[in-house]
Structure 1
Amino acid sequence: MTSTLRLTTAQALVKFLANQYSERDGVHERLVTGIFGIFGHGNVAGVGQALLQAQVQSQEGAGGDEVLGELPYYLARNEQGAVHAATAYSRARNRRQVMAVTTSIGPGATNMVTGAALATTNRIPVLLLPSDQFANRVPDPVLQQLEDPGSLDITVNDVFRPISRFFDRINRPEQLIPSLMNAMRVLTDPADTGAVTIALPQDVQAEAFDWPLAFFAPRVWHIGRPVPEPAALQRALAVIRSARRPLIVAGGGVVYSEAGAELRAFASATGIPVADTHAGKGAINWDHPSAVGGVGSTGSAAANALAREADVVIGIGTRYSDFTTASHTIFAADDVRFVNVNVLGFDAAKHGATMVVADAREALRALSRELAGWQVDPSYRQEAIDADAAWQQVVDECYHRGHTPLPAQTEVFGALNELMGPEDVVINAAGSMPGDLQCLWRATTPVQYHVEYAFSCMGYEIPAALGVKMALGDDHEVVAIVGDGTYQMLPMEIATIVSEGIKVIIVLLQNHGFASIGALSQSRGSQRFGTMYRMRSAATGRLDGDMVPVDLAANAASWGADVLHCESIEQFRENYARAAASDRTTVLHIETDLVGPNPPGSAWWDVPVSQVSTLPSTQQAYAEHLAARTAQRPYL
């Protein structure tokens, strides 16, 4: 007779998660290392009770099969922020470990939707455990339940279906067994990963069941490294060998597979220039002879000049976002061909590419073996070196502008780039900052650059700093750069950071508006409408009066952080040193110029402009848009 253990569904969930492990390259680690959450009526007596009981049993040293297995709990302040923190944690761990997030029913659950979409878009695993309505439907409608007259089976949690890589609802306790097994499968799949959502009806959470003990046995989930299929490898090699002007585009897959050493060796041996995406920055150090910087809409002039004339583009671990291709304009050679190395066939097939479905590290090793002795022409190698050297002069100018009366934000980035160490981490996600960072930041290691630009989610940075610090520890200075727009959307996780005794540095740039969208609005003929923080004017009836008298520095202090005001770049440098020496979370507040100057652009981004308008500014922008669109093309 099979041995069983009587537990509630929530208790079984906690015990199972505490006994799951991941393995890659012989390194075994706990897979689910903790759980963020906020308790409401939907989970406080279910998952909440289970977490409490597990902690009490662990502290009391109880023995025997009744021990649930402790899963550390972290109290977040906002459910979206909790998901961001968990996602950043997993990214910083190169997707080898994950965290879970539990919420109550209704608004608590739907607050996670943005975070779930971000995780899946970025291909980062995170486990979401939203509560749900009663499975027995006796209290109906329960508080915060969505009612659909056409179906009693629809709940707010169904919105997670299209943005989760795996979704399930546990209507009976025993359904948890196959559900969790599949959840772990997706969380540890290097190709098919993202948000995993298991909806937990609140009555089922508290329902008891006799669970087979084998369900709770320690289990190891092996994270695979698919090797290139030999015929596919040979097809790719034939294309690469025929190239006169090849260019590598290194994406996040290089970083997550920890293939930086292989990429650097491959580039050194072949002389192929290496451009990078946001997720791939740092995979090759910025001062490597083959490194040419970011590519695409916000890329460097060096990388974009090479991209325009590349006859073979070798994408390694990239999903080819709109910004990477500059809306299908940057790879402009008539005969351009693509070789895509990606663990996910969906991405490998993009742009009619010669596909190599494989782990980035294994593919680079195979390519290096097969291409031993093959190199690009020395003149092409030198062309890439010269182009990057010219761009580095532009970077130095942007970093040391001496702009007055307020500094440009690029000067803040320059100070940080020079002050932060190779193992420190800069975090950003939205606004004009990611564009400036991609083309200017000199990343020496993969860990140093953590910019989320697949979803470009405002509000990501502060909770992400929490997750990254938890993942990497005190040997890494973690610096979140936030604009005043992003800050106002999700500042409350500062309280979580402080309550956990975690130290991060938050650089708060206040320019009284949306710099990125303001510039885009102006360039597209919309005159920065609705993009500045201004009082409503009695004269015009629009938001173009005096500046809104908010004090974001005081707000940051109210959450428990130390705040240092910086009146100049010199004082910013001094205060950064003070923040780095402190053991407390510190906010560096500095005012910057809303309108730049920003780095010189070298590529395009397709944002449609009104085809008819009475505004001359819009009419001019539409004419410019029509002209720019002529460079767009399908890649076949």
Structure 2
Amino acid sequence: MQYTGARILIESLIEQGVDTVFGYPGGSVLFIYDELYKHKDRIRHVLTSHEQHAAHAADGYARSTGRVGVCIATSGPGATNLVTGIATAYMDSVPLVAITGNVPTSLLGKDSFQEVDIAGVTMPITKHNWIVKDVKDLAEVVREAFLVAASGRPGPVLIDIPKDVTAALCEWTPRSQHDPAAAASLNNQNPVAQSPVALARAARLSARGNRKTYTEADVLAAAELISKAKRPFIYAGGGVIIADAAAELKALVEKLKAPAALSLMGKGALPFDHPLNTGMIGMHGSVASNKAIQKADLVIAIGARFSDRVVSKADKFAVDAKILHLDIDPAEINKNVKSEHWIIGDLKKVLGELLQKIPERTENEWNGDVAELKKIVPEAHSRPVPLHPKFVIEAVAQRLGPEVIVATDVGQHQMWAAQFYPLNRPRSFLTSGGLGTMGSGMGLALGAKMANPERPVVLFTGDGSFRMNAGEMATAFMYHLPILVVIMNNRVLGMVRQWQTLFYDERYAETTLLRPPDFIKLAGAYGLNGYRAEGESQFMDALEKALADIASGKAAVVEAVIDMDEQVLPMVPGGKAIDDMIL
């Protein structure tokens, strides 16, 4: 059929199973938005208040479902506004397709109005990107984009489409989703599939199919390392969740009777209340996790990348342990920490095979030692104050139940949520881990709620972060997305202030936020109800009122006023060994 490029784009998105896109219109994408209007019964568009939050919403959609998220922006500033959201997804291996418009091909490279080389800008923060200069290539580019975004170690990709390409006419032939065989058969029949893009894609698919994989000998060598270990310790990251391998992780933990810690991105991969779960590991990890990994003789790292926020000082990290690293990305092997042995492959498959090769281990004094470490908890976790973050988080958890999706912004509230929220299932904790993006939380929550209407969604944010995304309350209102927003308001940039307190002699340079807005009045301006609480009883009353709003299908805001000097502890100072903690 003869379709415009814009129609081909919409049909190709639907072909890939896309039901929702997040975006913001502009001149270079008007043909695309015209087709979205015509086909709004087939694909839903969510208009955010800012392009950055369209990217974050697509990210939240993807993190909470495992499906590819999609966002759209116009050329120039619209495209550059996506960059922070794309980088956020890239650092956390989130499958995302960002679609940008651009000036007509005849104006590319001429400093035209609202022209930016967005492919060049995003090259370091995407798995791949494309500029589609011929409408005949568009369908194949979309197909490859989804394949690249979701395959291997997932991540964001970008498709830049000049305006004249969206208006040009071309034949379009439907294709089965993710069907390389169908693509190969069509190469001999369809002139569109004979394009350079299609031929290059076929070559990449062939190469991907011929890539060397791990062997049984690799699995046996890993099993031998494990069988010889007297003090095994498991360090699991976000790769476990991406691979849908939480069940296999739990089986491994229980077969080895091995203590296990989770990275920030791994939250939910092992139930919070599992007796062998030692809690989060890293700069603000638990005493048990940070000290036990230093005492282990074997660290089994699964879908984790040994980031600086976990390892801290690399030459003092797990120095008495051998490292067994399981990951899908060969680039992560020996990048930050040297491994004794590794297996590169799909974690669900690798763990399934490994479980068949390892003997069951009985608990010994190692488990007793770790159990004693779990008893060490900073006094700050129960500091007598009118309203403690731990109380706020646990009260919300008790009322929202086990099906909840927790989104956070970045800062102290993020770490408190990671420490205290009792998550027991994967894809339930959405947060910017690698990039640490303040302002990402509201978008993450919106995307998650749009994708999971039946599940409760709560956003924990700080007063600093919420200032960056409060405009998205309009999106929650317009699309009837009943999200619970809990603002930890300490009137400061809490995490930066904490560093200033500990390491900068209390010189609070530009971190005090005694300024507008009044968040309760701001919520009202956006059509939502807001409730302020300064003590425990007030918080419980505010929470009940907010949950009544949620039950009626309306988002609600609860402002929890906390002490400006409340700190996130434990804390590993920069440059110190991971077990050298401030308690």
Q: TM-score, normalised by structure 1?
A: 0.81
Cα 1:158–1:447 change in 2 (3 A) is closer
Q: Would the alpha carbon gap of residues 231 and 302 (structure 1) be closer, same or farther in structure 2, given more than 3 Å must change?
A: same
- Does the alignment pair 1:509 with 2:496? no
2:528 is the counterpart of 1:561: yes
Instruction: Return the letter of the residue paired with 1:90.
Output: A
Equivalence for 2:157: 196
**Can you list the C-alpha shifts for 1:188-209, whole angstroms capped at 9, x where unaligned?**
2032x21110001112211112
Name the CA distance, whole Å, in 2 between partners of 1:564 and 1:183.
44
Q: Aligned pair in 2 of structure 1 residues 630, 324: CA closer, same or farther (>3 Å)?
A: closer
Partners in 2 of 1:264 and 1:77 — Cα distance? 41
1:177–1:451 CA distance, 2 compared to 1 (3 A): closer
Asked whether 1:403 is paired with 2:388, we answer no
> Following TM superposition, by how much is the alpha carbon of 1:416 offset from its aligned partner in structure 2, in angstroms?
2.5
Shift of 1:123: 0.4
Pick from 95, 109, 129: which aligns with 1:167?
129
Partner of 1:136: 106
Does structure 1 retain, via aligned residues, the 8 Å contact 2:233–2:298? yes
User: Aligned residue for 1:19?
Assistant: 15
* Distance in structure 2 (CA, Å) of the matches to 1:137 and 1:449: 44
The C-alpha deviation readout for 1:251-270, integer Å capped at 9, x for no partner, is 11212222222222221121
The alignment status of 1:6 with 2:8, answered yes or no, reads no
Amino acid at match of 1:83: A
Residues 11-410 of structure 1: matches in 2 within 5 Å? 11-20=7-16, 30=17, 32-44=18-30, 46-55=31-40, 70-93=42-65, 95=66, 97-137=67-107, 141-146=111-116, 155-191=117-153, 193-211=154-172, 213=173, 216-220=174-178, 229-328=215-314, 331-333=317-319, 335-350=320-335, 351-353=337-339, 354-373=341-360, 375=361, 378-388=364-374, 390-391=375-376, 394=377, 400-404=382-386, 407-410=387-390
| Whole-angstrom distance in 2 between the partners of 1:444 and 1:630 | 26
Retained in 2: the 8 A contact 1:484–1:511?
A: yes
Q: 2:464 aligns with which of 467, 472, 485?
A: 485
Letter in 1 for 2:161: L
Correspondence for 1:459:
439
How many Å separate the matches in 1 of 2:315 and 2:564? 29
Distance 1:271 1:203 in 2: 61
Change (3 A) 1:168 1:293: same
Helix, strand or coil at the partner of 2:264: coil
Shift of 1:571: 1.9
SS in structure 2 of the partner of residue 453 of structure 1: coil
**For 1:555 and 1:327, how far apart are their aligned partners in 2?**
43
Displacement, 1:79? 0.4
CA distance in 1, matches of 2:273, 2:401: 15
- Per the TM alignment, residue 82 of structure 1 is displaced from its structure 2 partner at its CA by 0.5
* 3-state SS of 1:91 partner: helix
Secondary structure of the corresponding residue to residue 340 of structure 1? strand
Superposed CA offset, 1:483-537 (max 9, x none):
1110111111111111111111000122111010111123232634324335xxx
Give 1:379 shift: 1.2
Q: Indicate the residue corresponding to 1:442 in structure 2.
A: 422
Shift of 1:75: 1.0
Q: Please give the alpha-carbon distance, in whole angstroms, between the structure 2 residues aligned to 1:486 and 1:157.
A: 29
Larger displacement relative to structure 2 (137-146 or 487-496)? 137-146
Amino acid at match of 2:163: Q
Letter in 2 for 1:249: Y
Q: State the 1:80 CA deviation.
A: 0.5
Q: Is contact 1:399–1:411 with CA below 8 Å preserved after alignment?
A: no
The 3 A distance-change label for structure 1 pair 156 and 358 is: closer
Q: Which moved more, 1:258-267 or 1:7-16?
A: 258-267
Structure 2 distance, partners of 1:267, 1:76, is 42
Contact 1:298–1:436 (Cα < 8 Å) also in 2: no
Distance 1:227 1:137, change over 3 A: closer
Paired AA for residue 132 in structure 1: N
Indicate if the aligned counterparts of 2:132 and 2:165 stay in contact, CA closer than 8 A. yes
Q: Superposition RMSD on alpha carbons, in Å?
A: 2.5
Counterpart residue type for residue 227 of structure 2: R
| Rounded Cα–Cα distance in structure 2 between residues aligned with 1:220 and 1:231 | 31
Following superposition, the deviation at residue 286 of structure 1 comes to 2.2
User: How many residues are aligned here?
Assistant: 546
Tell me by how many angstroms 1:377 deviates. Answer: 5.1
- Contact conserved, 2:406 with 2:457, CA < 8 A, in 1? yes
Quick one: which amino acid aligns to residue 384 of structure 2? G
Could you report, residue by residue, the CA deviation over 1:372-394 in whole angstroms, capped at 9, with x for unpaired residues? 33x16511122223322x14xx3
Amino acid at match of 2:358: L
Cα deviation per residue 1:407-437 (whole Å; 9 max; x = unaligned)?
Answer: 3333322322333311112211311223333
Shift of 1:293: 0.6
Q: Secondary structure of 2:273's partner?
A: coil
2:573 to 588, 601, 604: 604
CA 1:326–1:361: 2 relative to 1, 3 Å = same
1 CA distance for matches of 2:334 and 2:168? 46
The answer to whether the Cα contact below 8 Å between 2:108 and 2:115 also exists between their aligned partners in 1 is no
Alpha-carbon separation, structure 1, partners of 2:60 and 2:544: 25
- 1:152-180 deviations in Å (ceiling 9; x for gaps): xxx24420111111101011111214322
Classify 1:178/1:217 alpha carbon distance in 2 versus 1 (closer, same or farther; 3 Å): closer
User: Aligned partners of 2:447, 2:364: CA distance in 1, in Å?
Assistant: 44
- Given that 1:228 and 1:362 are in contact with CA atoms closer than 8 Å, whether structure 2 keeps it comes out as no
Match for 1:47: what amino acid?
I
Q: 1:447 to 1:171 in 2, by over 3 A?
A: closer
Say if 1:248 and 1:315, in contact at 8 Å, map to a contact too: yes
Unaligned 5+ segments in structure 2 are: 181-207
- 2-side partners of 1:362 and 1:398: how far apart? 42
Q: Which position in structure 2 is the counterpart of 1:495?
A: 474
Q: Which amino acid aligns with 2:478?
A: S
Quote how far apart the aligned CAs of 1:122 are.
0.5
CA drift of 1:140 comes to 5.3
Q: Structure 2 length as normaliser, TM-score?
A: 0.88
The answer for the alignment partner of 2:538 in structure 1 is 571
How far apart in 2 are the matches of 1:552 and 1:330?
45
1:191-228 superposed Cα distances (whole Å, 9 cap, x missing partner): 2x2111000111221111233x2xx233246999x985
Which amino acid counterpart does residue 605 of structure 1 have in structure 2?
A: G
Would the aligned equivalents of 2:68 and 2:146 in 1 still touch at CA under 8 Å? no
Change over 3 Å in CA distance of 1:510–1:285 after alignment to 2: same
**In 1: Cα distance, 2:108 partner to 2:58 partner:** 34
Say if 1:33 and 1:228 are closer, same or farther in 2 by CA, change over 3 A: farther
| Equivalent residue number for residue 23 of structure 1 | none
2:3 aligned partner, one-letter code: L
Give the aligned partner of residue 205 of structure 2.
none
Please list every run of at least 4 consecutive aligned residues from structure 1 whose deviation after the TM superposition is greater than 6 angstroms.
629-632
Percent identity among equivalent residues? 25
- CA contact under 8 A between 2:252 and 2:355: conserved in structure 1? yes
Distance 2:108 2:10 in 1: 27
Q: CA deviation at 1:139?
A: 11
Q: Which residue of 2 aligns with 1:622?
A: none
- Paired letter, 1:362: K
